[in-house]
Structure 1
Amino acid sequence: MSKNVEQTIKEVMAVVLNIDADRINDDTSMDNTPGWDSANHINLVLGLEDEFAISFEVAEFEMMRSYFDIVGLVGAKL
């Protein structure tokens, strides 16, 4: 996947989760990111859909538990 796509994902995550994009890596997940609650999870998914002009199924929402997961799912849609 292109570095630009990965950087854009980080930027969306940074805005929604109110964290520094430089701190986001493959280990960043719902379990270790305080601002990543259920409400912000929905905002994150919607932000990614808007940014990349893609849509996710409900089952995919549930699979997006980390930056690593999100990169894989977004990559599969592009």
Structure 2
Amino acid sequence: MRTEEIDARVRDVLRLSFKTEVPSEGSFSREDEPKWDSLKHVEMIFMLEDEFQVQFAESDFARLTSVAEIVALVESKLAT
């Protein structure tokens, strides 16, 4: 799966999870979204795991705070 496809799918998950507009390109992070609280963070993680059929370790949770970080981590999970 190409980086661009992963990026687009991550943004779709974030749109659904936070029920907000997420730009189709550029940065988007926890700092940009007031609805991104701890409960939404966990919900988003479960949605990402379902979308990409991957499992995140607990140690990954804190890294999943921006589109760029999420895409990079999903890529690494899919590569293994």
Any conservation in 2 of the 1:49–1:56 contact (CA below 8 Å)?
Answer: yes
Gap runs ≥5 in structure 2:
none
Give the TM-score, by structure 1 length.
0.88
Query: After superposition, what is the alpha-carbon deviation per residue over 1:25-74, rounded to whole angstroms, capped at 9, x for unaligned?
Result: 44211112111111000000000000111000011011111111101101
Q: Does the 8 Å CA contact 2:28/2:66 hold for their aligned counterparts?
A: yes
**SS of aligned partner of 2:30:** coil
Residue 31 of structure 1 aligns to a residue whose secondary structure is helix
| CA contact 1:25–1:68 (8 Å) conserved in 2 | no
Change (3 A) 1:3 1:27: closer
TM-score (norm 2): 0.86
Runs of 4+ aligned residues of structure 1 deviating over 3 Å after TM superposition are: none
Aligned-residue identity in percent? 27
Structure 1: any 5+ residue segments left out of the alignment? none
How many residues are aligned here?
77
